[in-house]
Chain A
Amino acid sequence: AQRVTQPEKLLSVFKGAPVELKCNYSYSGSPELFWYVQYSRQRLQLLLRHISRESIKGFTADLNKGETSFHLKKPFAQEEDSAMYYCALSGVRAQKLVFGQGTRLTINP
Chain B
Amino acid sequence: DAGVIQSPRHEVTEMGQEVTLRCKPISGHDYLFWYRQTMMRGLELLIYFNNNVPIDDSGMPEDRFSAKMPNASFSNLKIQPSEPRDSAVYFCASSLGAGGLSGELFFGEGSRLTVL
Residue ranges of A at the interface with B (Cβ–Cβ < 8 Å): 6, 32, 36, 43-46, 49, 51, 86, 90-102
Tell me which residues from 102 to 116 in chain B have a Cβ below 8 Å from any Cβ of chain A. 102, 104-109
Counted as pairs of residues, one from A and one from B, with CB atoms less than 8 Å apart, the total is 60
Which residues of chain B are within 8 angstroms of A100 by Cβ–Cβ distance? 42-43
**Can you list 10 A-B pairs, Cβ within 8 angstroms, ordered by A?**
A32-B101, A36-B105, A43-B3, A43-B109, A44-B107, A46-B104, A86-B43, A94-B100, A95-B31, A95-B55
Besides A32-B102, A86-B42, 7 other CB < 8 A contacts?
A44-B91, A44-B107, A49-B104, A91-B100, A95-B31, A95-B97, A96-B33
Size category of the B interface is 20 to 34
A90 touches B101 (CB 8 A): yes
Nearest residue in A to B44 (C-beta to C-beta)?
A99
Q: Does residue B85 face the partner (Cβ distance < 8 Å to A)?
A: no
Which of A44, A86, A94 lies in contact with B101, CB distance below 8 A?
A94
Which residues of chain A are within 8 angstroms of B101 by Cβ–Cβ distance? 32, 90, 94-97
